[in-house]
Structures are given as structure tokens and as C-alpha cells.
Structure 1
Amino acid sequence: MEPAAVTASASADGGAFLEFVDYAISVITSSGGDGSESPGAGPAPARPPWGWTVAQVLKSCRAYSSGVTAAILLSDLFQSWTEQRKSLTAKTKVEVTSLLNTRSKRRRLPRTVTIDSIHEKNFLSPKSVLEAVVIDVFVLPGTNIYMLTLGDMWSTSTIDLYLHRRYYNYIGQHCILKKGREVVLTGCCLRTAVVEGSGHARILPTEYMVILLDEEQDEDAMLLAAQFCTYSFSSMMEEKSRNDVVYSFYARIEKIETLEPFGCTERKQIVLVDNDDEKIKFILWGEQVSLANLFSVGSMLALDSPYISNFAHNNHEEPQELCLEYGSATQVYLVPIAQHEEQVFLTPTQVRSQGPRLSCAPVDNMASQVTLPRDLHGAVDFSKYPFRAYVSDLHGKMVGVSLFGTVTSVCKVSTSGSTFYLEIEDATGVVLTKLIFTGHWSLGRVGVGHMVYISGLTCSLNKINILEVSWSEKEPGSLFVNLSLLPALLNSTCLHNISLLSDLPHSANRTHICRVRLDHIDCDSLKLSLFHNLCGYVVDELPDGLQCSFCKVACQNGCTPGFQLHLTIADDSEKVFAWCVGQTAVEFLQISPDEYMELPEDEQAMYLFTLQNESFTVAIANTSKRVDGYAENAEALPVWEITRALRCE
């Protein structure tokens, strides 16, 4: 099914691609669902987030570089969205939720797997996290082995766990580990062998289980008050009493950090802050580091009988400060941080851009606002925002923001090897974005005029109330896709409209798809250069070696020969003088740089002449604001860059 029924007009900067995104959202939204609700959490969301939809379409485009149809994209989208909604409509949630009562919402932990997926794959990674509630506690017949039957909020089935013996003291009528108790666990392995004549899977014992507490429940509040509010971190500073007292602490998780390995042993540290604002490090060693996957910044940690040690910063230093460690007698309880929410009003830009699509919202005062979660610092998380955010909508205290627009400048921060600045423009304005990489630049070639999608942006106000927008490669949800270089964009008729070359000056702020013929090319238009593999920019030859003109990093072994090509393309409406580099130039020339250089000069000229009047589908972008290193004199480059080319058979 092609999206002929799309009623929204083409976006000024996204063309048919964004038309399709809006169309897909309307199709998924109108498909409704089973109408089931998540008890205590309201109905499952009927409209997929705009950023999620764009990311899913781009994921399919990357998977099918030879092209996709509307039917393939809609099928992939619908399947992914159904899986998302399925987690909110599982049958056993009624039983599980009745055990959980109406406890505060909290974020799902990274690496969390569902019980349904464990049964489906018949596999459970030791690094996975299981967030569960105890459905039943029983003794395995004929043994003294305790078992827990676990369920979760996202599954229709349950699973049995062999309880590790370090938790046996917490079993009993008046003990804390009983029906209705929430737990999180990791370091699990699955036993799939036949047990007592049945073949159902069970989880083998793990010592890495954390019992969750709720301060609003009387039983839990009494436990915390009686056992964990006696000592502060300053209580153990005197060495005389330290060895004679069994300490229990209650503190907030401020940071979770990975330390350098100590020898060959992995380490993580949890920075804890108690009620007196005293700080101490809780160190995890070796296999214990998986425990950190069960914690979240801002949550309260109740530590019973931690091992008190001295902390060495690295392999060569003497132990310096006191720290806590996870010992054989240590028990960990967690009071998870609640997920706070905030009502966000749609801006006039968003209302106008959605047009009649907003009619799907209820006709009341909620039609102009949505509810989004807030993080620990009070910033609103826009990763689940149902509509497109524009540059003009950005303000302080926003995280998880997605933008779609055109690059107007890109450069490296001279003082840093991993920080760059990128300007993005859409129909409402331009924003300067700070890109922070874990190592070197990793986004491939990005140039002025390229059409990009970026998610995971953070917006904040500095001390003088100037908006600062940043993006960090290591943050969850961070994504950057250069649509102008995406092969599937040329190969997928549902994602582009064909433009005439005469249309280019009238909408120069986006990438156009055109069908053209090669009008003119000669030897003087062609230059061979070295290109940096990481970023696609020209490599400069300096006295002390090769250096990327963009990244400014040495790249003796990380560069490849390639073409810089000037050419004239034409269709029935216009001729345009343009340029291209790298793989796009190879697509035009249909020969590799090495093969071309092996030809004698007269044969090179003859070969180029035979290419004239060949037909191509091209992606072409306006680079008039360019200041880059593709040529010694940037003015020598034409305004139009051909970013992708596909020869028409």
C-alpha cells in the first residue's frame, strides 16, 4: 500500500520522508488496538512517539539498503509497536499488579528482559536484569530447597527460581521475602533440563538479588527505621569502633562509575551520600560489578553488613580512604526512585505542524498537552514525545530531544580531540549543537547541506541564560543518521519525491532527489586525493605526516584514495554544475581510483567521454554555506553537492 492517502503537505525540510513518517503514525494510531489497559497506569499509548517512528524507519532503511516499500516499512513499524504495547497489556498483569498495589511509577532498568522472552528464547544471559514480583514461595518436594515463583509486569507467564542460600534467612511468616515482594536480580543462568518429569525452564541460584522496599509501606518503613537509621558514614571513621560494630547504612546513589581494572579484575564504584551529606564509595569487584545494573542514580540504597576496607585508586598507589565493599554477609535493599511526570503544552508551531492530525486527541483541555517523565535534575524527557520538536521549541531542562534538519556548519573544537560543533537548521531556526564522542568522530561524512536526524539531545541554560544544546555518543538513546548519504533514500519511492533541477533554488534547505543525465565531465574536473576513513574528509600531507583536514588527527593508516569530481548534470528543465567525492564519484565514473590511474592519459579522456548522457538518480544538497577542507579554495567548489548517486539501468 503506497501512502497516496497522506493529507499532510510536504515538510519544507523533509519532503516525502517526513510525509511518510506522519502517514505511518496516522496508520498505526488509527489501527487502534485491543483496548486493554494497564491496571493503575492508564491505557496503552495509541500514538507512537515521533522520534521513535523516525528511528524505526531509518533502522529499516539501513537494513534494506537496496530499497524498501511502504508495505515493508509499515509492517516493520506495526510489529515493533505491537511488541511495545504488548508489554503494557500482558494477561498476568492483573495478578501481578494486585500484588504491587498502586506503587509509584519507576523507570525500567537497562538490560531488563521479560519472563516471556526467557521462555520464548529458552535462554537467559548472566548480564540480563530481571525485574520481578514474588508470586509464591515454596519448598521443592522431598528437599529443603526453597523456590520462588516470579512474575513481571510485562509477561503472560511466570518462572521458578532456585533461591540462593544467602537469602534463606529472609524466608518465613514474618520475614521480608514473601508473596508480593518486588526483587531485581542479575547473574542468572537458565536450567532447561528435565526436572521431575517436566521440561519447563527454571532459574539457577544467583547471589546477586536485591530486595526492593517501599517507604510508603508500614512494614518497609519500620525495617528502614529500625535497622538502617542508626549509623551515618562518619560513625565508622574512628578505628576503635570500626572492628566491633556491624554497620547498616541508608544512603542515596549519587553516581555509578566504572573504574580502571585492578590488575585483571573489573571494578565499579557507587558513590553514596547519607543524610548528613557525607560521601563514601561502595566498590564492586569482578563478578560483583553486575550488581550495578540493578541500581539507578537517585535511588536509596540500604546496605546491611558491608565489608569496610581501604580504597586504592590504582595498581600503584597505597590504600588511602575508607570504602565499603560487597562481602559474604552483605545484604542489599533498594528503594527505587519514583518517576515524576510533567504536563507539557504543545507550542503553536507543533499545533500548526500537526494540523488535522490533532483531531485524534480527546476534545478537552488535554488535547493541547502531553504528560512526559522528568529526570533527577528536573529535566523533562522528550524521548517519548508524540509530535515533532522544532528548533524554536527548544528551551532549558529538556533531555531525549530529537531534531530533523539540515546541517549549516560543522567543525572541531580545537582544544578537544572528541568534541565538535554542529549547526542544524529547520523551518523555524538554527541551533548550535555540541557533539561529545567517546573517542574519535564516528558519524561518517557529514557536510553542510546534508539532511540529518539526531536524537538524544540535552538542552540547558548556562549561567547567563543562553541555551546550550549537547549530544553525547555514550548516552542511551543517542542516534545520528545522515539521510543525504542513505542509499535506501534513492531506492525507495515511498520516501522521496522526484524534483526537477529547476526546482533546486526554490527550496535549497533540503536534499532533493532528481533523475538526471551526465552532461559533461573531463580530466580537468577530476582530482585524486586521500580521504579519512572515519569522517570522509580530505587528508592533508604535512611535513610530519598525514592529518585529516576535519578531525585534525593523524591518519597514516586510516585513509583511502578517492575522487574529487566536478561535473555538469542536466534534465529537461535545467543544467547544474555540481561536485561529489568518494563513493558517489565512483558511482558516476563506474571505475575505482586505482583502475582509473592505470589507464594512459588519452584513454582516461576517452573513458570519461563515453560516460556522457548516462542516466542517474541523485541526491543533491546545497552547500553554499560551506567552509571546509575539500579544496584549498572553498570558493572553487560548486554550490551543489551530489551526496548519493545511483545509475539507472
Structure 2
Amino acid sequence: MKRKHRRAKLPNTVTIDSIYEKNFLSLSSVLEAVVVDAHVLPGTNIYMLTLGDYWSSNTIDLYLHRRYYDLVDPPNGILKKAREIFLTGCYLRTAKEGCGSPRLLPTEYLVILLDEDLDDDAILIGAQFCSDSFSSISHAGVKNGVSYSLYARIESITSLEILEQCGGLQRKQITLVDNDGVKLRFLLWNEQVILANLFSVGSMLALDRPYIAIAAESALETSDEFCLEYGTATQLYLVPFVQHEEQVCLSSTQNRTQGSKLHAAADPTQGPKVSQVSLPCDSQGSIDFSNYPFQLFVADLHGKMTGISLYGVVRDVFRERETAGVIFLLKLEDSTGSIWAKLHFSQSWSLGRVSVGHTAYISGLTCSKTKQDRFELSWCETDDGASFINLSCLPALVNSSCLHKLSRLSDLSSRRNSMHICRVWIDQVDHCHVTTRFSHAPCGHFVKEMPSGAVECSFCHCDCDSEVVMRAFYLKLTLADKNTKIFAWCTGQTAMELLQISPDEFYELSEDEQVMYPSSLENERFIVALVNCKRQAVHGSRDSQTPEADAVSWEITRALKCE
């Protein structure tokens, strides 16, 4: 047997040879099999399928479940020789329990594979499954027992849910999208959930006679009008998602910054050569850059890119107010340009303190083109491969000398877009300004009291209760080295490191002691990380102004006392 297409093996797949070796088969195991023969047991009306697979030298017999008998009747039955099927939920009847070889007992959880490149399968899909759509389902049709045959792409498969309010009922949801872009949920209950082991995101699922539940007449908590379920008469067909690859040229950015010296060394008489790498595509044609071997820059971005990782400086960040869900807009800039990213959170901001001037590394980004014909990034904290690292706030920046090159304060004026690590001391303590305020613990930004008396985060724009509010420093001070002085500010752990006292301890001091406290720090030496926190005048930034966004241009993001 030769496989016509390259597709990924399903996670729980076992081989027929392994069944013989272990004399065992779990109910959750998946068989990716090919029908070698279909026949009726002599003297009975019981159908038997002889199955093989692409990895085994053995075959195994399956007692076919009666719900599939109408699909095996010769000569036009679809369950015939060379037909591929997926099945799960099988019990193994070992040779010791009967006579002869091991056999598989009937299972209801069988999916028939179709190939759109084969004429017979293409005709079946067109004739049987393309006349109905999700929009054609109606209350009258459902109540009158109309049978629907539906064809849709699997967009997502949720993890197993345990519904305690329904007596511990198990449920899995498969989100389907039809050719019109309409979404509908396909629900699996209790022992049916193992059927999801046969599906993969991006595959096309054909459902013949699914049970259609009317949400208003059931206990389903959903805004959808209908939901699909696996009924007693339902039969499933699958066109598996085949992951294609696309040849991607190494961009001019990579050739210029990383490859030019290598090309010149290899042959100085020739210009730069263009290299290519093969990257996988998802079911919607987007290219997955998660394993791209070079650093991407903003100038390299185009539509239909997923799995992107970028380094850049945060030029603006604020919450999008008039949208459903928790979405923040972040403008990221590198040496080649800038781009806006939409950050999606399941409940609330969860990345700690991020502000203008901070350097961030973000992975798991997707790039698409907006209606205004501009490229835009999106990021979801729950996606696989999604991460967000604020490099400006890493303790290792100042702890590990191998990770930084010391700058002088005089360098700041000429390189305002960079993060600088400087060795400094605290100067002019008479001008040191120390206060404590309340900040929102998840994001590190200050809160403000509204006219109504409620406390709101100036960054997240959410109501804050006492559990998520903590006292924090707001510190402005003068830093100096041998040549220059600058005025900078900080908060959080950095301010505690500079002042060498906690906000709560400082707050307990008398007013006179608070005024005198900074004098004890004069000439104390530190290694600090400095970023330019001056916000650019861009659309939306006015909404994100926070109490610390004043005339001070430099923020201290990390500090370490020099012994």
C-alpha cells in the first residue's frame, strides 16, 4: 500500500502490528486503516472488514457495526477495498477468548476518509453535502424531521469539559465553519468524546444526518440557535487536512544583516544569493514561521503569516475600550519600521508592567491585512507558542555582565531609541521626589479614584478591589556619572532596590523621616537599565496616559546596588 498524500499521524494512532505484539488495545486508541477486504461471514448476515495500515505487515478483522451496513452493500458501497477509514473505541477480542486470530469488536466511532482528487469522492461530496449549509437549517425543518447533510471545516477542538452542574457530564466541542463562513458547534457527549481523536483542525468534515439540537429547547448554555450532535443515524466522512509546504525566500533584511559577509567570503566576485527554506502552511493558506531559522523584522511582514516572533521597542500600548473582550493595542518598532499588534486576553492583562520604551520579545503572532490595506499583528495569550517577554525588566540585565555593554549617560541623547545599561550614582538628593501610590498588581500601573468613588486602573481601565491593589513607589531622582546628569523615574521593584526599603515600610515613617530619607542615599552607586519613556503623539495614546507619563523622559526599569 502506498499513501497518496502526506498527512500528520493522529496523536493516539496505534499500528496493527503493535496490537498483535501487545495483545492489547485501549478504547482511546486510533486506527488509521485501509479496507483490504469486505465480506459477509458464511451462514450469517454479519459484515466483516479486513483492515491493514501503512506501517504493518499484519491485517486484522473488524466486525462492522450495523449502523454502517448500508455503506458496504456491493457493488456500490463506499466501504470497499482500498477505502481509508479512521476508527476508535474498539474492543479487542483476543485469540484466547475465541478461536483463530485477534479480531476487533464493532464500534460506532468510525469515520470514512474521502479524497477530493478522486472523481467518485468529489461527486459524492458535491451531490450529497453541498446542497445544505448551516444557514439552511430551520426550526420547521428540524421539527419536521428533515435530514441534513453538511460539509464544513474543523476550526477548533476544545479540551474535555466536565459539567458538574449536569452530574459530571463530559463534553467536547468541535467548532465547524461552512463555505459561507457560518460557524456551528458539533457537540460530543460522554463516551462519544473519543470520536474527537479522529479529527484534526483544518480537516473538512461531512456530516450525514446529524442530530440537530435547538438551543432554546435544551439545557445548552449557548448563544447559537442550533447545535449539531452525533445521533444514532449520523455518519461521518472526513477529508483530512494535508499540511503543504511553501518555499520562502530569505528576505533582503536577512541577506543584508546576516548573510552578506558569508556570501562575500564564499565568492567576492558574486552578488548576494537568494536562499530558500520550506515552511508549512495551515488549512487557510497561512505560512507558519514558528521554525523560521532567522530573526524576522517588521519590514519582512506580509499577509497570511503565523507563528511570527519579533523583537522591538514598545512605542505605545493601551486598552481598546469599545470592543467585546479584553484587547490591548501595542505599537512595536524595530530598526526597519513599526506595526500595531492586537493582544487578546481571556480575562485580564497578565503580562506584568509593560510601558513605552520597554523592549519586548513576542512569539506566536499572526499577521494579516486590514480593511485599510495595512498590515496588523494579532496575539492571543492562550494560543500554542504564544509568549511575551519584557526584556527591559529582566533581572539578568543588570546581574549578568555578559548580557550588557555599559553606556555613559552622555550616550543617551544620541541613541534615544535604545535601552542603556549605565553605572551611576544618586545625585542632588534635595531634588529627589518620593511618594507612595496604589498600583494595580497584574499590570503594575497606578490606579485612580473615580468621581463615583470606585478605584480604576489607569492602564487596564477596570475596577480594582483591594485584592489586586498594592502600595508602590513613585520615585523621581537625579542620576549622575563622571560626565553627565539626567532626571529619571521608576516604580515597583526597581524603586525598592534604589531606596532599599519597601513602600509599606516607607509609608509607616513619619513625615519628617520621609523627607529626610533620600539624603541617606546620596552617592550610592548602582547599575541601572534606562529606557526612553517619552510617548509619541499617535492616535489612541491620549487614552493611555498614566500619572507617570509626565515631563520625565527616562525610566529606570532595573537597578542593582554596587557593592
Q: Check whether TM > 0.5.
A: yes
Equivalent in the alignment of 1:449: 357
Instruction: Please say if residues 256 and 292 of structure 1, whose CA atoms lie closer than 8 Å, have aligned partners that are also in contact.
Output: no
Return closer, same or farther for 1:480/1:321 CA change in 2, 3 Å cut-off: closer
**Whole-Å Cα distance in 1 between the matches of residues 386 and 531 of structure 2?**
25
Equivalent in the alignment of 1:101: 3
Name the structure where helix makes up a greater proportion of residues.
Answer: 1
Which of residues 376, 381, 386 is equivalent to 2:293?
386
Tell me the CA shift for residue 493 of structure 1: 3.7
**Whole-Å Cα distance in 2 between the matches of residues 396 and 228 of structure 1?**
31
Matched, 1:644 2:558: yes
Return closer, same or farther for 1:499/1:289 CA change in 2, 3 Å cut-off: farther
Equivalent in the alignment of 2:40: none
Matches within 5 A, 1:237-386: 249=149, 251-253=151-153, 255-256=155-156, 264=166, 266=171, 268=173, 270-271=175-176, 273=178, 281=184, 283-287=186-190, 288=192, 291-292=195-196, 294-296=198-200, 298-303=202-207, 306-307=210-211, 309-312=213-216, 315=219, 324-328=228-232, 330-356=234-260, 367-386=274-293
Matched, 1:495 2:403: yes
Whichever residue aligns with residue 556 of structure 1, its letter is D
1:191-233 deviation per Cα after TM superposition (whole angstroms, max 9, x unaligned): xxxx99xxxxxx999976655444557xxx7578679954654
Tell me the CA shift for residue 405 of structure 1: 0.7
**Aligned Cα root-mean-square deviation (Å):** 5.2
Return closer, same or farther for 1:164/1:502 CA change in 2, 3 Å cut-off: farther
Whichever residue aligns with residue 554 of structure 1, its letter is D
Tell me the CA shift for residue 148 of structure 1: 9.2
Whichever residue aligns with residue 453 of structure 1, its letter is Y
Whichever residue aligns with residue 403 of structure 2, its letter is L
**Whole-Å Cα distance in 2 between the matches of residues 441 and 320 of structure 1?**
28
Tell me the CA shift for residue 620 of structure 1: 1.3
Whichever residue aligns with residue 287 of structure 2, its letter is V
Tell me the CA shift for residue 548 of structure 1: 0.9
Return closer, same or farther for 1:100/1:647 CA change in 2, 3 Å cut-off: farther
> RCO greater where, 1 or 2, for CA within 8 Å and sep 6 or more?
1
Return closer, same or farther for 1:205/1:568 CA change in 2, 3 Å cut-off: farther
Return closer, same or farther for 1:285/1:640 CA change in 2, 3 Å cut-off: same
Aligned residue for 1:405, secondary structure, equals strand
Gaps of 5+ in 2: 19-25, 37-47, 98-103
Return closer, same or farther for 1:632/1:371 CA change in 2, 3 Å cut-off: closer
Whichever residue aligns with residue 525 of structure 2, its letter is S
**Whole-Å Cα distance in 1 between the matches of residues 558 and 416 of structure 2?**
17
Matched, 1:588 2:492: no
Tell me the CA shift for residue 520 of structure 1: 4.6
Under a length normalisation based on structure 2, what TM-score does the superposition of the two structures give? 0.72
Matches within 5 A, 1:465-480: 465-480=373-388
Equivalent in the alignment of 1:16: none
**Whole-Å Cα distance in 1 between the matches of residues 111 and 388 of structure 2?**
36
**Whole-Å Cα distance in 2 between the matches of residues 255 and 625 of structure 1?**
39
Equivalent in the alignment of 1:566: 476
**Whole-Å Cα distance in 2 between the matches of residues 546 and 374 of structure 1?**
47
Tell me the matched-pair count.
509
1:296-354 deviation per Cα after TM superposition (whole angstroms, max 9, x unaligned): 45422244564455444874999997764213454433211222333333332221111
Matched, 1:577 2:487: yes
Under a length normalisation based on structure 1, what TM-score does the superposition of the two structures give? 0.63
Rg comparison, structure with higher value? 2
Instruction: Please say if residues 434 and 474 of structure 2, whose CA atoms lie closer than 8 Å, have aligned partners that are also in contact.
Output: yes
Task: Identify which range, 417-426 or 227-236, moves more after superposition.
Answer: 227-236
Return closer, same or farther for 1:320/1:522 CA change in 2, 3 Å cut-off: closer
Whichever residue aligns with residue 349 of structure 1, its letter is T
Gaps of 5+ in 1: 1-98, 120-125, 138-144, 190-194, 197-202
Equivalent in the alignment of 2:312: 405
Matches within 5 A, 1:133-152: 133=32
Tell me the CA shift for residue 547 of structure 1: 0.9
Equivalent in the alignment of 1:631: 547
Tell me the CA shift for residue 517 of structure 1: 3.1
Task: Identify which range, 477-486 or 176-185, moves more after superposition.
Answer: 176-185
Tell me the CA shift for residue 527 of structure 1: 0.9
Tell me the CA shift for residue 508 of structure 1: 2.1
**Whole-Å Cα distance in 2 between the matches of residues 320 and 554 of structure 1?**
30
Equivalent in the alignment of 1:21: none
Task: Identify which range, 385-394 or 604-613, moves more after superposition.
Answer: 604-613
**Whole-Å Cα distance in 2 between the matches of residues 394 and 289 of structure 1?**
39
Equivalent in the alignment of 1:612: 522
Tell me the CA shift for residue 130 of structure 1: 7.0
**Whole-Å Cα distance in 2 between the matches of residues 188 and 439 of structure 1?**
40
